Amino acid sequence: MHEHRKPRTPRANAVWAVVITSMAGFIAALDNLIVTTALPSIRKDLGGGLEDLEWTVSAYTLTFAVLLMFGASLGDRFGRRRLFAIGLAIFTAASAAAALAPGMSELIAARAAQGVGAAIVTPLTLTLLAAAVPAERRGMAFGVWGAAGGIAVATGPLIGGTLTEHLSWQWIFWVNVPLGLALIPLALLRLDESHGPNPSLDLVGTVLVSGGLFGIVYALVRGNAEGWTSTPVLGGFFAGAAMLVGFVLYELRAEHPMLPMRLFRHRSFSAINVASLLMFLGMFGAIFLLSQYLQTVGGYSPMEAGVRMLPWTAMPMIAGPLAGALSDRIGGAPVVTAGMALNAVGLGLWALAVEPQVSYTSLLPALIVCGTGMGMFFAPSANLVMSTVRPEEQGIASGANNAIREVGGAVGVASLAAVFSAQGGYGSASLFVDGLVPALWVGAGAVALAAAVALGMSRDRKAEDPGMDLPAGDAVADVPVAT
């Protein structure tokens, strides 16, 4: 009996890991965009000006982006499963606090706390998943995880609009609470504990990178509102850049660095991070404007606009697992490259199709192509990041990649919105399209550049793997991390 049950345990562990980490990643990613369609209702209920509404969105984005690497480091130091559960508890409690917020100040504070919880949870989803799934199955597992994240991003406005219209805006936060309460005990019971190599936290590095990313993201978020040459915005850019340079210099000399700079000597690691930044720049900036296009020019309600985004939403669910399985067979680099190229084509199709008076069916090809491209990007890109570092450094690599993605998204929203404002506006349908078209071409260009960067990734990962001094069979992609 014992002999019969033993082989099934690793598979059960892997299945539970996929379910738990995908659900956790889903709710963390969902809160990036779920609040956007509820903002008018929140303002009507709680009051506040435009800046308060912006900070309702930005408080989450900022804390999420700047604390991602610290979250990964905490998991490496104190135990990834333990910190994963703590992060879920923070996120769940903050979600309840947001739903109960009596005013805008309290809501903004709760959103910032949500970002803290998400910053701990998100990088640990990948390391816990990698620890439970054998290397030869990891592509498919990352495919499911990537599809969950992609669907969360795409359905955020739809779910937010639906809950706000049919229940109340508080339910966009209440929906997280039962999910969080269910995931915490499951994580503690079904996931194995693991640690990273660092015996102490890199507090100086954490302060430098967090401060640097905060300065730059803050400047990007506030640039359109305060002016790109205003003192706070320029100060954010310069101080942020200076702290990031300081971070790199410090990490080169630190005994136990949070982000070993030698990881970037691996061409695939550097390339996938640059490509991820450019990909999120183009796609998030485009999603931000296209959802408004459907409402402002198309005349749809938030929920109706979300429904019409479903072809984009559904494709990552189909393409994600397939892309993960394909990457196991031919490698992640060609799949990621093809996905980014499809995204660039999709955004170009949008730019060619949008007009003040255009039928929804004319936009469908662009939606489907973009959705397929997104699904092909998420899973293989995660696998590429994890397969270029040693098992004990996967938390560090995951945190870095997620932080770079978030910063890319913030850059995209700010830069494409700036192009839109310079060329058009909200005064009329034709004026909106005048601003949207050049913004979409900028987004398409960024994603096309991402595809070019991905194309340059080395196919022979073992040749220059940072983990090459591991024992025989050493490439991380070939080493089962778990057990």
pLDDT digits (tens, 9 = 90+) for 75-128: 777 888 888 889 989 999 999 999 998 888 889 899 989 988 988 888 777 777
Amino acid 401: pLDDT? 79
Q: Is the pLDDT of residue 441 over 90?
A: yes
pLDDT at 136: 64
Give tens-digit pLDDT for 258-298: 777 877 877 778 888 888 889 888 887 787 777 778 777 87
pLDDT at 466: 40
Q: Report the mean per-residue pLDDT for the chain.
A: 77
- Average pLDDT score over residue span 251-264: 79
Sign of CA dihedral 87, 89, 90, 95: positive
pLDDT of residue 134: 67
Whether 316 has a pLDDT exceeding 50, the answer reads yes
Calculate Rg over the CA atoms of the chain: 21
Q: Which pLDDT score, from 0 to 100, does residue 54 have?
A: 63
pLDDT of 12 > 70? The answer is: no
- Please compute the mean of the pLDDT values over residues 229-233 and round it to a whole number: 87
User: Predicted confidence band at 461 (pLDDT cuts at 50, 70, 90)?
Assistant: very low
**In this prediction, what percent of the chain has a pLDDT beyond 90?**
10
Euclidean distance between CA atoms 426 and 288, whole angstroms:
14
126-182 pLDDT tens trace: 777 777 676 666 677 777 777 777 777 767 777 887 888 788 888 989 988 988 888
Confidence check: pLDDT of 404 > 70: yes
